[in-house]
Chains A and B, each alone.
Chain A
Amino acid sequence: MMDESAELAVSITQIVQRLKGTHLHSQLEKQAKECLHKPEIKLETLKDDVRRLLKASGMTWLLPPPGHPRAPPEHTKEPLEYMRKAQVNWEKRILKSLNSMCTELGIPLARKRPVPEQKELTNKWNEMGTDEPDLSKFRPVYAPKDFLEVLVGLRNPNNERSEDLTVRSHWGLIQVSFNVRDIPQMREMYPELGLTYGQLGIDDHTHVPPDLFESEHIHIGKKVVSEQDSAAAQQYSRQGCPTGLRAQLWSLILNTTNDPEDITHYEQLKARVINHDLLVDNLIYKDVKLTASNDDYYFVFEDYLYQVLLCFSRDTAVLEHFSYNSATPPKSCIQNKSGSEQCAVVYPPNGVIPFHGFSMYVAPLCFLYNEPSKLYRVFREMYIRYLFRLHSISSHPSGIVSLCLQFERLLQTHLPQLFYHLREIGAQPLRIAFKWIVRAFSGYLSTDQLLLLWDRILGYDSLEIVAVLAAAVFAFRAENLMEVTSLASAEAVLADLSTLKVMPLLQIFLFATSV
């Protein structure tokens, strides 16, 4: 049983979470920001004031009824206990890996930079890419395929033996059973992707006259931006964002601003980077060097990636999202100045340990925002709304487990011959598709196509479309895949997605597949 204030906090978190992305939310946020500047509002008594005001206004239904049992906070993170356990175990493994690397290399988890080093870093802030630190000793803490093995091992202990039958009739790797949407349900969820609606990514092709759809769509987009309407932007984004308006539209949907406070916050984070060196910084360097720097589309943004990710690691504001993330921020022992160990400190400060490919979450955004503080803000919001779900174990419909399961079910239902064939030759489809899903296709599609996909993630406030696209890709290359006889050749058929056009694939898969 929790006390009133904690329960209130949970209620409010849930409401805020539900409201996220709506016009009401942005209005409330604006009002709240303005209120903060009023002299009669004091931060110290804010909690009590709010409670008092709620009681006084009669909105007592927001307060938990006395004596009523409330769901413990863990349930906001993840309702299913066996999933929570799996996540906890996974975290233990990651942390162990990090700590052992730290011990092996004799590098402290955190260290204050000597002043000359601070000066040097300040000078080099815009070109950290020219640095060639020796990263050979560092290994990524984990790669997506390690994570996949953990997901494959998930089992619901409540399943009776007899129920194994249902699970066994599932041909894929994911052995837990959630409700995931099928195509008829998705047709209702995503009507705007249907054949009767215009789409950017289809109807803006050079051979299509712009007055059929594109010009009008751009015109509407400009209006949405000028009215700063967040909810309208979200709805609008379902049909794709014009390249010239996308940056503003995403910012509107995510409710990110570039006010002086945001810039100050970013500068503070930058100062923290200058002052302290973290072990995870090396992981970030290594990841960028291995992934983004070798990518045709993103290598030019290397410096921006450091500027965002190093700050991200130090942003304690990110810790708030753990109230609805099934993950828990890892804690480590840090030595403080006097040499005595200070344990149970969240490490890294933002609670997110980067893994191999993490920088690819930021890379596509570099095409849209060239001011570091703005880029940072948008990335952080994308992360705490969507991207975190791709690497934490949960039962959430946008969580990685559901996405993988949905991908497999779609494939099994609509391309059973293909699935069967691939299984027989030892090429489980998820083994190939997993890396696409974990990165929401970043680094696999050409950037313009990726941005069209992410338009819809924002528009529908869900990552489900990623699983659908993965299935659609298999459907598109089905003929070639039926000819292959090994996992390696299946991988080869699906190695290069850079020529794919995302929207036609999605449209055909969702609306032209016979059900």
Chain B
Amino acid sequence: MAGKVKWVTDIEKSVLINNFEKRGWIQVTDSDDWNFYWMSIQTIRNVFSVDTGYRLSDDQMVNHFPNHYELTRKDLMIKNIKRYRKELEKEASPLAEKDENGKHLYLDFVPVTFMLPADYNLFVEEFRKSPSSTWIMKPCGKAQGKGIFLINKLSQIKKWSRDSQVENTNSEILVGLNNDNSQLFGIIDSPLHLLICTKGLCFVRYKLGFCRFCTVKYTPSTSELDNMFVHLTNVAIQKHGDDYNHVHGGKWTVSNLRLYLESTRGRDVTNHLFDQIHWIIVQSLKAVAPVMNNDKHCFECYGYDIIIDDKLKPWLIEVNASPSLTSSTANDRILKYNLINDTLNIVTPNGEIPDCRWNRSLPKEALGHYQVLYDEEQALSESAERDLRSRSGQLLGSKGSRSSSVRPFPATWK
């Protein structure tokens, strides 16, 4: 049936709509026969709720997994990762190796997190154990727009104790405060966009992206409560909040970050950092894979929020199911437009009506700015090969399997 794809969306964003229109697709409403629905998270809840019993037909595709919240809700993500770690330990997998302090060597990438106000007392206890360390405070919900703060005094929390999460990366994020040198302290990656394909487990990662380069602005004035926090923000985003630079929006490209790190810290260290980031992404996805309803009508774009500390260790803060499609700057708009374009090229190759019966392979030439992080099919076929080899007596060192597993470019993960 060579018809035009009929699309619906409840997100009125030009980066989406322009991409649909340029493919000659036809806009319909959700009560019509649609093929492609780019929906917000509220809508997906309704579509897949037990009550409505909605079943998608084979020529319909949506942009969320029904239980994406296993990854995108912080508490569930942590639960899944913990479960995953335990499973690996049971299997005596080398990935679950721990150091002499009982810390996971390879799977310790989620910082200790407390939800406030519920965990306030627990947090205070933890805080008092290491009073000189610094905590990242992430207001949720309504306060989301305020950005992320660093705190190192309990009094600073009082103001934000509602609707917030507090995390500790157990590293001295604020080391520069007492330091004369102006150093980069923490970097928050805004989207490292991910796509899970409908076919089995296949993760591709978008090569472009932005990050927020942060230095700490410490305002020690004790007069106003407002000033009693350290605002982790970019130099260009002033304390006034509404000062916003429309040229760059306070965002720096990941490629600039890479150039800076390579130039100042060296290539190996930088490659290692990015390898670790890929590792985090792949591991977190593998952790939720068993519980994720692998509905073949679904694909999803996740936004990973990762923070990098001064020792260049990345930490996973959270995963977003609905990365913002609003553009603050021209560069941002271009990036998001291309992202959607590349996404559509992968999930609806040649702009054709989806046919979810067939397991279509990933069109390698049409990846655009995406790069494959993990492809289960290929991994399975290669692990079969590996079993064969190990039977013939070849050894695989445990460290070897970890360090070679996450390379930016090969399509498989061993």
Contacts and interface: CB of A to CB of B under 8 A. Distances in A.
A303 B215 contact: yes
Interface in B148-187: 176, 180-184
B181 A447 contact: no
A300 B245 contact: no
Nearest to B183: A370
Interface in A274-314: 293-297, 299-300, 302-304, 307
Contacts of B268: 244
A125 B239 CA distance: 17
Given A126-B182, A294-B248, A296-B253, A244 B267 contact: yes
Given A302-B236, A304-B182, A447 B259 contact: yes
Contact of B238 (A132, A297, A367): A132
Nearest to B243: A132
A140 interface: no
A367 B263 contact: yes
A130 interface: yes
A424 to B, nearest CB: 33
Of A127, A132, A244, A294, most buried by chain B (CB within 10 Å of CB) is A244
Contact of A247 (B250, B255, B264, B331): B264
Given A127-B215, A130-B217, A304-B182, A448 B259 contact: yes
A361 interface: no
Contacts of B235: 127, 129-130, 293, 299-300, 302-303
A248 B286 CA distance: 41
B366 to A, nearest CB: 18
Contacts of B245: 293-294, 299
Interface string B208-245: 00000101111000000000000000111011000001
Q: Which of B247, B252, B256, B268 has the most CB of A within 10 A?
A: B256
Nearest to A303: B182
B252 to A, nearest CB: 6
Nearest to A307: B182
A243 B180 CA distance: 27
A172 interface: no
B267 to A, nearest CB: 4
Contacts of A302: 235-236
B266 interface: yes
A372 interface: yes
Given A294-B245, A296-B253, A303-B215, A242 B181 contact: no
A367 B247 CA distance: 20
B382 interface: no
A197 B184 CA distance: 38
Q: Which of A295, A307, A367, A369 has the most CB of B within 10 A?
A: A367
A318 interface: no
Given A300-B235, A303-B215, A370-B183, A243 B262 contact: yes
A297 B210 CA distance: 12
A126 B215 contact: yes
Contacts of B264: 247, 367-370
B70 to A, nearest CB: 35
Query: Which of the listed residues A243, A368, A371, A447 has the most CB atoms from chain B within 10 Å of its own CB?
Result: A243
A262 to B, nearest CB: 15
A129 B267 CA distance: 29
Contacts of A307: 182
A293 to B, nearest CB: 6
A125 B217 CA distance: 11
A367 B259 CA distance: 7
B263 A372 contact: no
Interface residues of A, number: 31
Contacts of A451: 263
Contacts of B260: 367
B180 A126 contact: yes
Contacts of B216: 127
Contacts of B239: 130
Contacts of B266: 244
Contacts of A389: none
Given A129-B235, A132-B238, A368-B263, A296 B247 contact: yes
B263 A243 contact: yes
A297 B256 contact: yes
B181 A372 contact: yes
Nearest to A123: B220
A448 B261 CA distance: 12
A47 to B, nearest CB: 38
A427 B250 CA distance: 35
A246 interface: yes
B8 to A, nearest CB: 36
Contact of A370 (B184, B250, B252): B184
A435 to B, nearest CB: 18
A372 B262 contact: no
A126 B181 CA distance: 7
A220 to B, nearest CB: 15
B247 A447 contact: no
A302 B182 CA distance: 11
Nearest to B214: A300
Given A296-B253, A300-B213, A368-B264, A130 B259 contact: no
Nearest to B250: A299
Nearest to B257: A300
A246 B236 contact: no
Contacts of B331: 296
B23 to A, nearest CB: 26
Contacts of A244: 262-263, 266-268, 270
B263 A247 contact: yes
Interface string B335-352: 000000000000000000
Counting chain B CB atoms within 10 Å of each CB, the highest count among A295, A296, A300 belongs to: A300
B318 to A, nearest CB: 24
B252 A127 contact: no
Nearest to B218: A127
Given A303-B235, A372-B182, A127 B259 contact: no
A269 B202 CA distance: 56
A303 B259 CA distance: 19
Nearest to B262: A243
Interface in A171-221: none
Contacts of B180: 125-126
Nearest to A126: B182
Interface string A228-246: 0000000000000011101
Given A293-B236, A293-B245, 8 more contacts: A125-B180, A125-B182, A126-B182, A127-B217, A132-B238, A244-B263, A247-B263, A367-B264
Interface of B: 176, 180-184, 213, 215-218, 234-236, 238-239, 245, 247-248, 250, 252-253, 255-256, 259-260, 262-264, 266-268, 270, 331
The list of the 9 closest CB pairs from A to B, nearest first, reads: A244-B267, A126-B182, A243-B262, A129-B235, A300-B213, A244-B266, A368-B263, A294-B247, A296-B248
24 contacts: A127-B182, A127-B215, A127-B217, A130-B239, A243-B262, A244-B262, A244-B270, A293-B235, A293-B245, A296-B253, A296-B256, A296-B331, A297-B252, A299-B236, A299-B248, A299-B250, A299-B252, A302-B236, A303-B235, A307-B182, A368-B264, A370-B181, A371-B181, A372-B181
